[in-house]
Chain A
Amino acid sequence: MIFILPVVQLLVLSFAATFDIKSIRIHIVNQDHTSVSRTLIQKYQSSPFYKISGYSESYKEAEYQLRTNKTDVVLIIPKNFEKDIIKENAAPLQFIVNAINSSAAGIIQAYSFSIAMDFNKNFVEQKSGVTITEPFNINYSYWYNPELNYKTYMVPGILVLLVTIISMFLSAMNVVKEKEIGTIEQINVTPISKFQFLLGKLLPFCFIALFELALGLTVARFVFNIHILGSIPLIFGVTLVYVVAVIGLGLFISTLTNTQQQAMFIAWFFMVVFIMMSGLFTPIDSMPNWAKNLNVINPIAYFIKIIRMVILKGSGFSEISKEFYALLIYAFCSMSFAVVRYRKKN
């Protein structure tokens, strides 16, 4: 269970986590019915990004489509559109976007406008016979991921997540379980020191987590075809330090609590906060300053940054050293807390 589930999740969830907009559904309210408006509609029809989800005569009907999520954007071509553009030299055109998802709405607006402007440019060139040249020529290039494949970005992140969840929960539940069942008393009467005891708890979890990582990297390489640009020993080295930090945190929680239910809720709380703040799903750069500062105590944020840099950009030790040392300190502190807090006698 512990080994298969994460791989299945990696496979499934990596496909789910994408912001790529595949197709935009546009609903058209054409009140003009002229050849110009038809040419404009034609533009949207032929664009690979757009799918026309329907036509209607009135905005009322179109709004119903928006409300029931049958379309993403409504284009309204008003009456006298052709007349206005030719006679008045200015014709209005209205887009109504479902903006609940604001970032998607921004992209939809940009695409929709650029098609309209493109149509406008063609129309002007046709009518006046001048070719329009834009003075600034902007080139784009996308490094490390020229096809803008979102999976390349998410797979390393989800891999991190799985390794974290496994080590955090197994360790957080561990000592407290022995407490709840009562077997901890038996261990307490043995001559084993508390440091040795916790170290003994730590090693199997480390092993499981590293194995999980190896499995995940194999899937990333062969299923998702992600080329690991950086050094693999570096990845494993950093992971080892990270796993010790997380397990230390888990064991610390475990020594603090009395029941598995409490341990689980606390572990879950930190997990969810750490995951959401880590930059895995939404970029850290977009967060307010206090949230960025809060990430100083977030081991997942350091680790995701390191893993993405090493796997995707081939960063070496010197580029990740700051984050690495932070993790090292983290591992040391969390293990020491766990050892100090664990008492043989109640």
Chain B
Amino acid sequence: MKAFIGFIIKEFRHIFRDYRTMVILFGMPFVQILIFGFAITTDIKDANIAILDQSHDQETRQIIQKLVSSGYFKLASSIKNENEIPEVFKQGNIKLVVIFEKNFASNLEKDHKANIQLLADASDPNTAKLLTSYASNIISDYQREMYRELRLPYQLNPEVKMLYNEEMKSVYMFVPGIITILLMLISAMMTSISIAREKELGTMEILLASPLKPLQIIIGKVIPYVFISFMIAIIILTLGVTVFGMPIIGSLALLLTESLLFIIMALSLGIFISTVSKTQQVAMMISMFALMLPTILLSGFIFPIENMPLPLQLFSNLMPPRWFIIIIKDIMLKGSGIEYIWKETLILVGFAVLFIFLSLKKFKIRLA
């Protein structure tokens, strides 16, 4: 036991004396969450639009005024004829062109019918859809205002309540994801690299020759990283609450316990990666390639899992971050207690046990 404690102390010193790495380790998540929290959003604001107004009358001016004052759109250019449209789209700054037909107001007066065309650059389909639906909503609102006197009987008044996120902030969606990704990648990478490094430099042999058991060596290597990752988790959560105004409606203790569980899971994944890779470079390639893109894309961080094809939905069940994102959102935003998230918690425990078991097995084989 004394040898084991000595080993842990050695590991701590080993990590903390490399202050350059420490600065990187603590500085990086700090900068990243600040940048991402502010920059990652799908909200539409001041999108550049072009207008082809062939009528220039009272009505079209009113509508243009409505579009621009909504805050969603910014009038970037007025074009004279339709031939200019391909040119405008190919330059790539303008995403939507609004076309008013000739004699717009007089058509409206005579036939009670006038045409507006919305042309969207759908090379980005999501933005295209949002822009056209916002624009047509604004136009319909204007229409309703204009024809208020025509108000018909039997009106339905639909109302909406946005539960868990009344102000529709997109940080509520992204901050839990960012926390998860940072913890997952940093924890898994740190451990996988540090063990692979001992192997590459040949110092692993010395450790193995010591009277410590394989399990003790692994635990000793992991404990300092548990500590560091937990500190990082606390930093990130504090920033999430203070800077981005994320609420913690549920229990803070539960949130921290779940974070600790997730960290242990990610660290044991890191150990597993290091036991299967010979060099630091291989360990890194695995934790990068195998982890980075799937954790970003298949965890429900940016792209909702429900929208994916079924095989991928099933596959995403194998992604531990997926479950942690659910847990964080439930605790922070919905205020759910353990009775709602015990299933996700058990899954994380299962992953941790699995990785530890696999790496122990691998580790023993190497001893022989």
Contact = CB atoms under 8 A, between A and B. Distances in A.
Contacts of B117: 138-141
A85 interface: yes
B263 interface: no
B118 A138 contact: yes
A112 B155 CA distance: 16
B24 A269 contact: yes
Interface string A76-98: 00000000011001111111111
Nearest to A18: B307
B326 to A, nearest CB: 7
Nearest to B144: A134
Contacts of B21: 259, 261-262, 265
A123 interface: yes
B139 A20 contact: no
Given A85-B154, A136-B116, A136-B143, A95 B160 contact: yes
A276 interface: yes
Contact of A85 (B40, B108, B156): B156
A63 to B, nearest CB: 8
A153 B115 CA distance: 30
A305 B292 CA distance: 22
Given A100-B173, A268-B288, A124 B154 contact: yes
B159 A134 contact: no
A262 B193 CA distance: 10
A72 B352 CA distance: 31
Interface in B82-141: 89-92, 95, 108, 112-130, 132-133, 136-137, 139-140
A68 B339 CA distance: 11
A100 B152 contact: no
B140 A136 contact: yes
Query: Which of A85, A140, A305: most chain B CB closer than 10 A?
Result: A140
Contact of A18 (B159, B308, B333): B308
A96 B271 CA distance: 45
Range, interface on chain A: 35 or more
Nearest to B336: A67
Contact of B126 (A105, A124, A150, A268): A150
B227 interface: no
B169 A102 contact: yes
A70 B163 CA distance: 14
Interface in A1-51: 1, 5-6, 9, 12-13, 15-22
B113 A101 contact: no
Query: Which of A86, A96, A294: most chain B CB closer than 10 A?
Result: A96
A57 B39 CA distance: 42
Contacts of A262: 20-21, 24
Interface residues of B, number: 108
Contacts of B170: 102-103
A96 B163 contact: yes
A102 B155 contact: no
A262 B194 CA distance: 11
B235 interface: no
A272 B287 CA distance: 14
Contacts of A120: 154-156
A153 B124 contact: yes
A29 to B, nearest CB: 13
A146 interface: yes
Given A100-B165, A135-B108, A314-B90, A286 B44 contact: yes
Contacts of B129: 148
A142 interface: yes
B345 to A, nearest CB: 15
A214 interface: no
A336 interface: no
A124 B152 contact: yes
Nearest to A174: B281
Contacts of B199: none
A211 interface: no
A269 B31 CA distance: 9
Interface stretch (A125-133, A183-191, A240-248): A125-133
Given A153-B124, A313-B90, A91 B156 contact: yes
A165 B289 contact: yes
Nearest to B174: A282
Interface in B157-215: 157-166, 168-170, 172-173, 185, 189, 193-194, 197
B251 interface: no
A87 to B, nearest CB: 10
B122 A309 contact: no
A173 interface: yes
B161 A95 contact: yes
Interface in B303-331: 303-304, 306-309, 312, 315-316, 326, 329-330
B340 A68 contact: yes
A139 to B, nearest CB: 5
A331 interface: no
A228 interface: no
A326 interface: no
Interface in B271-304: 280-281, 284-285, 288-289, 292-294, 296-298, 302-304
What are the 8 A-B residue pairs with the smallest beta carbon separation, nearest first? A142-B122, A99-B162, A99-B165, A291-B39, A148-B125, A145-B122, A102-B168, A312-B123
17 contacts: A15-B312, A22-B306, A89-B154, A96-B163, A102-B162, A136-B143, A140-B120, A161-B293, A169-B284, A260-B193, A260-B284, A265-B189, A272-B32, A286-B42, A314-B90, A316-B90, A319-B91
Given A100-B172, A145-B123, 17 more contacts: A13-B297, A16-B297, A17-B297, A20-B307, A92-B157, A120-B154, A135-B146, A136-B116, A138-B139, A145-B128, A169-B284, A259-B197, A261-B21, A282-B41, A283-B126, A316-B90, A319-B92
